[in-house]
Amino acid sequence: MKLSNIPQRYVIVFLTFLSTSVCYIERVGFSIAYTVAADAAGINQSSKGTILSTFFVGYACSQVPGGWAAQKIGGRKVLLLSFVLWSSTCFLVPLDPNRVGLLIVARLLVGVAQGFIFPSIHTVLAQWVPPHERSRLVSITTSGMYLGAALGMWLLPALVELRGPESVFLAEALAGVIWSLLWIRYATDPPRSEHPKAAAAGFGGALLPTNNVNHHKVTHIPWKKILLSKPVWAIVVNNFTFHYALYVLMNWLPTYFELGLQISLQGMDSSKMVPYLNMFAFSIVGGFIADYLITKKILSVTRTRKFLNTVGFVVASVALMALPQFRTENGVILCSSVALGFLALGRAGFAVNHMDIAPRYAGIVMGVSNTAGTLAGIIGVDLTGKLLEASKLIYSDLSHPESWRPVFFIPGLLCIFSSVVFLLFSTGERIFD
């Protein structure tokens, strides 16, 4: 099948959108399948937590190396290698909860492999996407995460019930192989061109890796300047907060329904998908709003990023801190949907900003900030468990709304802090040549 009538950058964006969807289906799928298998085998909660968190350890370790590899080898090749590695691991490793050592190694491998994905994607998009389309096309790519999470929560429990937990691994491996074949067939590097407008705008073939010694700017990475840059740290702080809130809600909202509200998740049907579908919609809308404001010259790039980031994080903060007051299923779904939706809107601020300030090093800056995001997940999920254990000592059980207030107030306050940091220190101007 030929796609000659479709601009290649749109093909690349669609394929990267599929890649993020498949990755999040895998993450949700493992949690669902492993939980069922572990419960059937009588595995205790501590051991389950170790296995589930192992992925994030590998994921955190490979973020910066992933950006470096994408910069040196090329994002297109590194992205393919990542998919081949994690798909093979899913296919080859049996889902046996009693073989803890094997599962830990497997989840570390999958985490390391998937840690290369987002730095590689940002490197590829920086090469293909011109500045006037940057917000909406990057937002479309990242919206695949939320669609994948929603689809995983909707479809995979039924697959486990019909075919057993192991079938989820095989289905995920098959999805990874299909995506890899599509990437091999349709993905290309941009033409290696020295067109002055493309080079000045910070995209195109001028950003491709090269072995030519005369292209010293590609081989030299200004690590010190990156790590000491206030705009980079503004992105890092906001990435940390975004993922802290996201992972706390992803991992603990089901417990809030079950123990805080005494509502069974099985009886909720597809309503538990709504917050993630809201993220999917708001992520795309945020990208289109940003590009409209920039291309129509209503706001500068800097003011657009700050405006959307501030609106997204401040509204999310209010929703997060209000969430413990809601004691009905519909109220919690509404509040969590507002929180996650506006967090996704805020991504049109900080998450696209890598390519504004450092198009040549977008994968590396993404790797640095995504490391912080992954650490936020580890810290937030673990801290929430400790907070709830402490609350049980005070309130005897977790049905009291006060026992959940610190859980949602912490990410709410972080959202306010992060929005202030972004307002003070971020920029939409290119600061790295």
Contact present, 340 and 147 (Cβ < 8 Å) = no
Cα(99)–Cα(89) distance, integer angstroms: 15
Cα(10)–Cα(14) distance, integer angstroms: 6
What is the per-residue pLDDT across 333-383, written as a single tens digit (0 to 9) for each?
999 999 999 999 999 999 889 889 988 888 788 888 988 998 888 888 778
Q: Quick one: which of 112, 111, 139, 101 has its CA closest to 30?
A: 111
Contact present, 130 and 7 (Cβ < 8 Å) = no
Contact present, 126 and 359 (Cβ < 8 Å) = yes
Cα(359)–Cα(131) distance, integer angstroms: 10
Which one-letter DSSP state was computed for residue 296?
Answer: T
Phi-psi region of 43 (alpha: psi -120 to 50; beta: other; left: phi over 0): beta
Contact present, 359 and 202 (Cβ < 8 Å) = yes
Rounded to 10 deg, the angle between the 301-322 and 329-350 helix axes is: 160
Contact present, 71 and 364 (Cβ < 8 Å) = yes
Contact present, 253 and 340 (Cβ < 8 Å) = no
Tokens representing residue 327 in the block:
């004691």
pTM above 0.85, yes or no: no
Give DSSP secondary structure letters for 25-38: HHHHHHHHHHHHHH
Positions of E strands within 12-78: none
What is the per-residue pLDDT across 280-329, written as a single tens digit (0 to 9) for each?
999 999 999 999 999 999 999 999 999 999 999 999 999 999 998 888 88
What is the per-residue pLDDT across 110-147, written as a single tens digit (0 to 9) for each?
999 999 998 899 889 988 988 888 888 888 998 898 89
Domains in the chain, please, with CATH? 1-202 (1.20.1250.20), 222-432 (1.20.1250.20)
Q: Quick one: which of 191, 217, 222 has its CA closest to 204?
A: 191
Amino acid, res. 345: L
